[in-house]
Structure 1
């Protein structure tokens, strides 16, 4: 697995030295998504990959206690709430909504969200989109 901090550092070196990376990989949820009539009859599997850079001041982990960092449950809850709220036409709009919610969390300096639909084409693993967002320092 590659380093999220080093990837973010290509955008701003402070992300590697002043933040802690948190990662959620291939989180699977059923989502009502798609533009075709057959996609409107039920939910489809979607995979979510999320990387967050959280400022060390907001996630110092100075004590071995959950209050010292950002809880992974928050990431999963944002995805669940948005995925259950409505039918999305596009992965792009769902991905953008997740990015916006995660980026608004205090302490979050950078966000990367990728969504993938694994059941679209038989000749590929998945199709998807990805977004990166940096908050101003």
Structure 2
């Protein structure tokens, strides 16, 4: 299933999509020795799919929705665990953590390393998961 097809999956049609765009972090990531000696810039993008029934506020209160801080804090918690070799691992770890939230039905996470090659914008990885019912 292509990513575009996944985003229009029938089980997500009653969902609100909330997102975090180009969250820039400095993280120890990479398999090469020079990458293990310092941090690199990584851009993280997250889409959460939350059922409208669980994310439509009645009283205009934050606890009625999923707080954006949840996405940022989840990324920070993963980064605090130390060096990660692969973007695939980082994406999978963040996606799994996002799906643990009781209101989240599906998640898309991508990571990009914009400073790897001088002749392209970035290299990256993306995953998409729907919580099993």
Q: Please report the TM-score for the alignment, with normalisation by the length of structure 2.
A: 0.92
Instruction: Give 2:73's aligned residue.
Output: 77
- Which of 95, 100, 107 is matched with 1:99 structurally? 95
Aligned counterparts of 1:113 and 1:90: Cα–Cα separation in 2 = 14
Counterpart-to-counterpart distance in 1, 2:53 and 2:128: 22
1:15 equivalent in structure 2: 12
Counterpart for residue 131 of structure 2: 135
Aligned to 2:60: 64
Deviation at 1:104, TM superposition (A): 1.1
**Stretches of structure 2 lacking an aligned partner (at least 5 in a row):** none
Structure 1: gaps spanning 5 or more residues: none
C-alpha contact (below 8 Å) 1:23/1:50 kept by paired residues: yes
DSSP 3-state at the match of 1:35: coil
Q: Kindly report the root-mean-square deviation, in angstroms, between the aligned alpha carbons of the 2 structures.
A: 1.8
C-alpha distance in 2, partners of 1:35/1:8? 31
Deviation readout 1:55-111 (Å, 9 max, x if unpaired)? 223212122111110000000000011012110010000110000000111011110
Q: What SS does the aligned partner of 1:130 have?
A: strand
What is the TM-score when the length of structure 1 is the normalising length? 0.89
Aligned pairs for 1:14-53 within 5 A: 14-16=11-13, 18-53=14-49
SS at match of 1:67: helix
